[in-house]
Every structure is written in structure tokens, then in C-alpha cells.
């Protein structure tokens, strides 16, 4: 699982945009959003660089959070 911080994610629209972008790229992707913490957890066959690019293309910058600091 990848855990990312998406700073500009502020509402349900953002959650939907990110979830749909991720699932368009990988229909099997599991996306769990903790909006209050601006955290997105993704289980996908896509690697971290791809996931960050997919979220960026949806209009949000994403930063990988190291598990050991999460």
C-alpha cells in the first residue's frame, strides 16, 4: 500500500476526482481517503511514480509518506 499526502484535497469533489483518476488507470485500485488528514492510501498494481503522476494529472500534487513516519 502507498500512503500519500495530498495537500490541496479539501472536499468530496477532490476525493471523487482522485479516486476516479486512480480507478481509471487501474480498475482494481483500492483507494481509501482520510480527508481530515489529507491522506490517500492506495493499493494498486501501479508503482509509486505512476500513482503520483496519475494524481498530478487529476490536478493535485501528492507526496509519498514514508511508512516509518506515518
- Closer to Cu ion at the Cβ: 24 or 47? 24
- Position 66 contacts Cu ion (CB under 5 A): no
Q: How distant is the alpha carbon of residue 37 from its chain centre?
A: 13
Asked if 19 and 59 touch (Cβ cutoff 8 Å), the reply is no
- Closer to Cu ion at the Cβ: 32 or 48? 32
Residues 13, 45, 66, 69: which binds Cu ion (CB under 5 A)?
Answer: 13
C-alpha cell at 20: 476516479
Residues 1, 11, 36, 49: which binds Cu ion (CB under 5 A)?
Answer: 11
C-alpha cell at 68: 516509518
Amino acid at each position: 500500500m502507498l500512503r500519500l499526502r495530498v495537500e490541496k484535497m479539501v472536499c468530496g469533489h477532490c476525493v471523487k476526482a482522485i479516486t476516479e483518476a486512480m480507478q481509471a488507470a487501474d480498475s482494481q485500485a483500492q483507494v481509501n481517503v482520510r480527508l481530515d488528514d489529507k491522506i490517500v492510501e492506495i493499493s494498486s498494481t501501479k508503482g509509486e511514480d505512476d500513482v503520483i503522476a496519475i494524481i498530478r494529472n487529476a490536478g493535485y500534487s501528492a507526496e509519498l509518506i514514508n511508512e516509518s513516519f506515518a
